[in-house]
């Protein structure tokens, strides 16, 4: 993919992935979010000996985004796996819901391996018939 916007997201996710704390799974993941105004926020997975306390890369990136004052996801890249393994490292169910809090159904989700793009899909395809903030509006 030669889209400069995608390339910046891919590079940010790759850089974040390099800092993943994965002493148990040895499966580093990076994620990068682009907001509607073009800002990029990235994060990596952070494991904990008490497994439920671990944090996915997408959750870290969302936390960084919110801490920076942003509240909308225009596009997201997730990178995991080994070069050439052809497996998809899509956001887990919990992260799909976290992304949904800040993204629309047509938001692009780029699933990557270290070598580059493996799949582009939408949040609606990953989380059909989702429950979101508008379900709680008065």
- 116 in a domain, yes or no? yes
Residue 114 has pLDDT above 70, yes or no: yes
pLDDT value for 76: 98
- 134 in a domain, yes or no? no
SS3 (DSSP) at 94: helix
24-37 burial string, b = 16+ CB within 10 Å, else e?
A: eeeebbbbbbbbee
Any catalytic annotation for residue 101? no
User: In this structure, what token pair is assigned to residue 131?
Assistant: 């429950």
Which residues, listed in sequence order, are joined to residue 87 by a DSSP beta bridge? none
pLDDT value for 137: 85
Query: Range of 62's domain?
Result: 4-129
Q: Given 7, 58, 75, 101, which residue is catalytic? A: 58
What CATH number does the domain containing 98 carry? 3.40.140.10
In whole angstroms, what is the distance from residue 56 CA to residue 34 CA?
17
- 44 in a domain, yes or no? yes
| pLDDT tens sequence across 34-75 | 999 999 999 999 999 998 999 999 999 999 999 999 999 999
Query: Stretch 7-20: mean pLDDT, rounded?
Result: 98
Specify the DSSP class assigned to residue 74: S
pLDDT value for 3: 84
Looking at the structure of the chain, the number of domains it has is: 1
pTM of the predicted structure, to 2 decimals: 0.94
pLDDT value for 1: 53
- 135 in a domain, yes or no? no
- Confidence category of residue 138, pLDDT binned at 50, 70, 90: confident
The percent of residues above 90 in pLDDT, for the chain, comes to 93
Q: Measure CA 10 to chain center.
A: 11
- 35 in a domain, yes or no? yes
């Amino acid at each position: 993919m030669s889209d400069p916007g995608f390339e910046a997201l891919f590079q940010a996710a790759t850089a974040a992935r390099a800092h993943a704390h994965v002493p148990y799974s040895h499966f580093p993941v990076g994620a990068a979010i682009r907001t509607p105004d073009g800002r990029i926020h990235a994060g990596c997975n952070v494991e904990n000996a008490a497994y439920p306390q671990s944090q996915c890369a997408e959750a870290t990136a969302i936390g960084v985004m919110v801490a920076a004052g942003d509240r909308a996801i225009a596009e997201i890249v997730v990178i995991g796996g080994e070069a050439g393994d052809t497996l998809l490292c899509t956001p887990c169910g919990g992260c799909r819901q976290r992304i949904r809090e800040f993204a629309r159904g047509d938001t692009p989700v780029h699933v990557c391996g270290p070598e580059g793009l493996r799949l582009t899909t939408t949040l609606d395809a990953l989380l059909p018939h989702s429950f979101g903030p508008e379900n709680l509006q008065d």
